[in-house]
Chain A
Amino acid sequence: MNVDEDARAGLVSGQPERSRRRAAALLPLASTAASLIGLLLVWSLVAGLWPSRALPPPMAVWRVILAELMSGDLLYHLMMTLWRVAAAYVIAMVVGTMIGVLLGRRQRLNSFFDPWLVLFLNIPALVIIVLAYIWFGLTEAAAIGAVAVNKIPNVVVTMREGARALDERFMEMAQVYRLTKLDRVRHILVPQLQPYFAAASRSGVALIWKIVLVVELLGRSNGVGFQIYLYFQIFEVAGILAYTLAFVAIMLMIELVVVQPVEQHASRWRRRAA
């Protein structure tokens, strides 16, 4: 009791402090797990009360996931979707960042292209996808390009803010000390843009994978979107949920294993502030 109070007051450091911190780190994990289990319970309860093909219980969905996994279909379609997400993401981030930084640094260009940007921001994703398929055919390039074009305006807007917020003093320092172009980009430009890039990237992945499913539904013959379309035609909700949950799980894994560690590494200088 006494020790516990001291530890809470921060007087005792070392072992108790560390285990307390570990417990504190586990707490959100435990509450997340409890919350998800609660959702599963509600789902199976509702599915049990009103048995129907339209809402299969969790176990039925799980059995579909296992069966599709065994046949290899699940992995194949997941990978096809994942690669389209990755390709569209890379294109959107690269092109959007270049345009955004340019507009943020050049006032004249910005005032000319700003209306274009507003226009593109407001075109529905579906319109871009349909037009891309009509103009460029039902091809992989048209599919990925349409997704990227949907995302680029958002990236541009965020990166433009970042480019406007660049600190002139660092530029002047770089000029006085005659830093090379590469050094300026690596050590001055990129670190200042990084938070904006992370923000664009985060909202980007979430948006892109949802649009990829639509693209697959409308004009591809594989991928999660295509499978969902198939199961929709035979009103097989278990299959729809199986593919959706599997892909959501993969996106969460990427978030936990790739995105968060990268962001923590990139912002390491922030957290150690005195």
Chain B
Amino acid sequence: MQAAGVAAPLKVDIREKRFRSTEGVGVLALRDLSFEVGTGEFACLLGPSGCGKTTTLRILLGLDRDYSGNIRMPVEGSHRIAAVFQEPVLLPWRTVEQNIRLTLPPSLKQVVLDELLEILGLSGLQTLYPSELSLGLARRVALARAFATEPSILFLDEPFVSLDEATADRLRRLLVRVWSARPTTALMVTHNLREALFLADRIIVLSSRPAKVIGVFNVDVPRPERDADQLDRLVLAFKQHFAGVEGFA
């Protein structure tokens, strides 16, 4: 998986995560889920809907501490984490620029954001309020906010869900651009195989609930070459790789 000697900034080892329903019945969401994400790597967690991907992410984000297991967060770099949620989660009462600046650590409060906004096509929109933005633009602001903090690891939870395909495609390209300009260790959760193949260096494939890792797929094609035809070939290769693997949905 990981070449010896290379620092693994994120090491996840969740033994068990249970949800208790109101009737007191325990539902096993995750069991023996372990994987690593290497420095500067863009990894995708791919799995069927409802398999526990978002649960995993919430644990990694520190929003859910009720689990057993170990998580080693990045030790080098800024020690900060950033997240792009399923919804943009922008403060409606603050402008685009205020929304981005709010999450910046003190050392970055005065940083110039022009270049980042330029890459994401947000120039000139700094003084607008989120209610004046389309959903696609609001997600770009959420991306800008995440990258602006210069995190040592970035988590993305299906950030392009509920967008029309054309908008989602444009945003994926923007994500590649901004990620190339500011290489960041990233872990994205998705159930969309083509999206994962387009964005990731490595795809960690999860089984249905309780989620555990059933395999890893390395995407060896450089990102600029991942056009529609290439993606078709990658999908085929991926399906062949996982044909007959137990638990693959």
Interface of A toward B, CB cutoff 8 Å: 169-170, 172-173, 175-179, 183, 187-188, 191, 269-270, 272-274
Chain A residue at smallest Cβ distance from B63: A172
Q: How far is the CA of A183 from the CA of B105 in the complex (A)?
A: 11
**Residues A272 and B131 in contact, CB atoms below 8 Å apart:** yes
Per-residue 0/1 for B58-72: is the Cβ within 8 Å of any A Cβ (1 yes, 0 no)? Answer: 000111000000000
- 8 A-B pairs whose Cβ atoms sit less than 8 Å apart in the complex: A169-B89, A170-B91, A173-B85, A187-B94, A187-B102, A270-B92, A274-B131, A274-B133
- Would A170 and B149 count as touching, CB distance under 8 A? no
Nearest chain A residue, comparing its CB with the CB of B134: A274
Which of B83, B87, B91, B98 touches A176 (beta carbons < 8 Å)? Answer: B83
Minimal Cβ-Cβ distance residue in A for B99: A187
Chain A nearest CB: distance from B159 CB in Å?
Answer: 14
Q: Which of B80, B98, B103, B129 contacts A272 (CB 8 A)?
A: B129
Beyond A177-B103, A187-B94, A269-B94, 5 additional contacts (C-beta under 8 Å) are A173-B85, A175-B63, A176-B63, A270-B92, A272-B132
> Which of B92, B93, B149 lies in contact with A177, CB distance below 8 A?
B149
Q: Do A176 and B82 touch (CB < 8 A)?
A: yes
Residue of A183, A187, A188, A273 touching B131 (CB-CB under 8 A): A273
Determine whether the beta carbon of B133 is less than 8 Å from that of A179. no
Q: How far is the CB of B134 from chain A (nearest CB, A)?
A: 8
Query: In whole angstroms, how far apart are the Cα atoms of A188 and B133 in the complex?
Result: 20
CB neighbours of B149 from chain A (8 A): 177
Number of interface residues of B (CB under 8 A): 23
Given A176-B62, A177-B103, A179-B103, the answer on whether A269 and B131 have CB atoms closer than 8 Å is yes
- State the main secondary structure of chain A at its contact with B: helix
> In the bound complex, how far is the Cα of B54 from the Cα of A169, in angstroms?
14
Report chain B residues within 8 Å CB of A272.
129, 131-132
Interface of B is mostly: loop
The CA of A274 and the CA of B94, in the complex, are separated in Å by 15
CB-based contact B131/A170 at 8 Å: no
Question: When the two chains form the complex, which single residue of A173, A175, A176, A269 contacts B129, counting CB atoms closer than 8 Å?
Answer: A269
Given contacts A176-B81, A179-B102, A273-B131, is CB(A187)–CB(B91) below 8 Å? yes
* A41 CB to nearest B CB, Å: 46
Give the CA-CA distance A170 to B103 in the complex, in Å.
12
A274–B133 Cα distance when bound, in Å, is 7
| A273–B83 CA distance with the chains assembled, in angstroms | 26
**Per-residue interface assignment for chain B, residues 132 to 150, with 1 indicating a CB less than 8 Å from any chain A CB and 0 otherwise:** 1100000000000000010
Report B-chain residues with C-beta under 8 Å of the C-beta of A274.
Answer: 131-133
| Residue of A170, A176, A179, A187 touching B61 (CB-CB under 8 A) | A176
From A172, A177, A191, residue with most partner B Cβ within 10 Å: A177
B80 touches A178 (CB 8 A): yes
Q: Which B-chain residue is minimally distant from A180 (CB atoms)?
A: B106
- Chain B neighbourhood of A270, CB < 8 A: 92, 131
B74-109 toward A: CB 8 Å interface, digit per residue (1/0)? 000000111101010101111000100011010000
Q: Which residue of A lies closest to B81 (CB)?
A: A176
Q: Which residues from A are CB-within-8-Å of B81?
A: 176
B63 / chain A contacts, CB cutoff of 8 Å: 172, 175-176
Per a CB cutoff under 8 Å, which of B62, B98, B131 touches A175? B62
> Could you tell me the distance in whole angstroms from the C-beta of B142 to the nearest C-beta in chain A?
9
Contact in complex: A173, B62 (CB < 8 Å): no
Contact residues in B for A273 (Cβ distance below 8 Å): 131-132
Chain B nearest CB from A95 CB (Å) reads 25
In whole Å, how far is A111's beta carbon from the nearest beta carbon of chain B? 18
Q: How many angstroms between the C-alpha atoms of A169 and B89 in the bound complex?
A: 7
Name the A residues within 8 Å of B80 (CB-CB). 178
A contact residues around B93 at 8 Å (CB): 191, 269
Chain A's closest residue to B58 (CB) is A172
A170 close to B89 (CB less than 8 A):
yes
Query: Across the interface, which residues of A come within 8 angstroms of B92, CB to CB?
Result: 269-270
* Min distance, Cβ A189 to any Cβ of chain B, angstroms: 11
Residues of chain A within 8 A (CB-CB) of B131 are 269-270, 272-274
In the bound complex, what is the Cα–Cα distance between A96 and B156 (angstroms)? 40
With both chains docked as a complex, state the minimum distance between the C-beta of A267 and any C-beta of chain B, in angstroms.
9
